[in-house]
Structure formats: C-alpha cells, structure tokens
Amino acid sequence: MSLTIYGTPRSRAVRNLWMAHELAIPFVHEPVGFGDDGCRSPGFLAINPNGHIPAIADDGVVIWESLAINLYLARKHGGPLAPADLGEEGRMLAWTLWAATEFEPHAAQAMYHTAFYPPEERDPAKAAQALGAVGAPLAVLDDTLAKGGGHLIGGRFTVADLNVAGCVFYLRFTPQALAGRDHVRAWYAEAITRPAALAAFALRGEVPAPI
C-alpha cells in the first residue's frame, strides 16, 4: 500500500495530514509548495491540473480536493471516523458539501481580509461582510451540535467533524464570529486538540488553539 499526500502543511493539505494521523495509516508526504516551482509546476499539474494543493496518489488513484480526499480515506480505511451505513455516508457528504459551499468561502474571506493578505490588500468591509455571512451557517452548526451531544453524526467524532472543523479553523483570527456559539466552541476545542490534529499542525510549527 502506498499513499502520497502532496501539499505543504501550510495549505489545506493539513486536513489530509490530520486525517492520515487519525487513521494511523502509513503515508509519504511531499510538501509541494505554492507558485511556479510548486503547485503550478508541470510535474504537479500532471497530478492536479487545477494547480492547487492538496492532492493524493493512493496506489495509482489520484484525488484532489482536500475534503473529498478525507471522505475517500474514511471510506477506504473504515473505523469510527467512517460511515457506519448509507445514511451516515449521505450525511457525511452533506456536511462536507455544506462546509465547502455554505461555510468555507465566507470563513476564508474573513481570514484573508483580517490576517492573511498583506495589510494594504485587506478590505475591512469585505471582512465584515464575510463575518456577517458565517452567522447563519454557524447557528445551524451550533444547533446540530447541541442536539447531537457534541458531534455532527452518530454521537462520535467522524470525518464530517474533521472536515467542518478544518474550515472553522479559518475563524481563528476572528474569534468574535464564535461569540455565543458555545457548542461550536466546545466541539472545535475538542477537535483541534486531538492527538492527530496536534501531529498534523506540528508540521506547520503550530499548536492549534481553541477559538
């Protein structure tokens, strides 16, 4: 068995490194970086023609999109993070697509315009708009966690929790976004301090903290 995870841990590849540590599976890490020498190099474009990291190659199966990679790894390796039945699988897909479409774009925009872009490129109006936009999905997340006993699906930590928490990570520079969202804050604190998360974020030289 041979799994290669491509992408610097300073990218969304950290989500896949986290997942691989959760599953305790062997892997090779190729920390492909940004730009023409990294994710836009001809060699990497042959793996992901979108020119984005992360990607994986798993016994000849190439997959890109960080959240899809985690769903694939969960299904392949099983265990508590994986769906126990078709109903759980459908809900894990739903939460993952929710993360990618309803939540991540706004959370990322808030991060970009608060901390990520150079100061001269940050637009406070865009940051405020993005923080407004995460309010409704965070209310849904908070309510689901309250009803689910602190997890999204099946009363346990699954790939759905990992995928969503990997996007909530973007709110670390804007903690006001989680004000009053006590279920989200408790759930995120538990997720981001799991041993597998700490191992993945250590590759960035970071100890992830609760928000």
Ligand X SMILES: N[C@@H](CCC(=O)N[C@@H](CS)C(=O)NCC(=O)O)C(=O)O
The site for ligand X (CB under 6 A) is made up of 11-12, 34, 39, 51-54, 65-67
Q: Which is nearer to ligand X, 70 or 181 (CB)?
A: 70
Q: Which is nearer to ligand X, 8 or 158 (CB)?
A: 8
- Minimum Å gap between C-beta 118 and ligand X is 16
- Given a contact cutoff of 8 angstroms between Cβ atoms, the answer to whether 130 and 110 are in contact is yes
Q: Which is nearer to ligand X, 13 or 142 (CB)?
A: 13
Rounded to an integer, what is the distance from CA 175 to the centroid of its chain? Answer: 18
Q: Which is nearer to ligand X, 148 or 173 (CB)?
A: 173
In the block, tokens 């804050």 appear at: 185
Alpha-carbon gap, residue 166 to 69, rounded angstroms: 13
Q: Which is nearer to ligand X, 102 or 148 (CB)?
A: 102
- Minimum Å gap between C-beta 183 and ligand X is 25
- Minimum Å gap between C-beta 150 and ligand X is 25
Q: Which is nearer to ligand X, 65 or 88 (CB)?
A: 65
What are the structure tokens assigned to 52, written together?
Answer: 């984005």
Residue 203, classified by CB atoms within 10 Å of its CB into exposed (0-12), middle (13-18) or buried (19+), is middle
- Minimum Å gap between C-beta 44 and ligand X is 10
Alpha-carbon gap, residue 185 to 33, rounded angstroms: 31
- Minimum Å gap between C-beta 164 and ligand X is 13
Q: Where are the alpha helices (DSSP H) in the chain?
A: 13-23, 42-45, 66-77, 86-98, 104-111, 124-133, 135-147, 159-168, 182-192, 195-202
List residues bridging with 58 in a β-sheet.
3, 61
Cis peptide before 210 (omega within 30 of 0): no
- Minimum Å gap between C-beta 36 and ligand X is 9
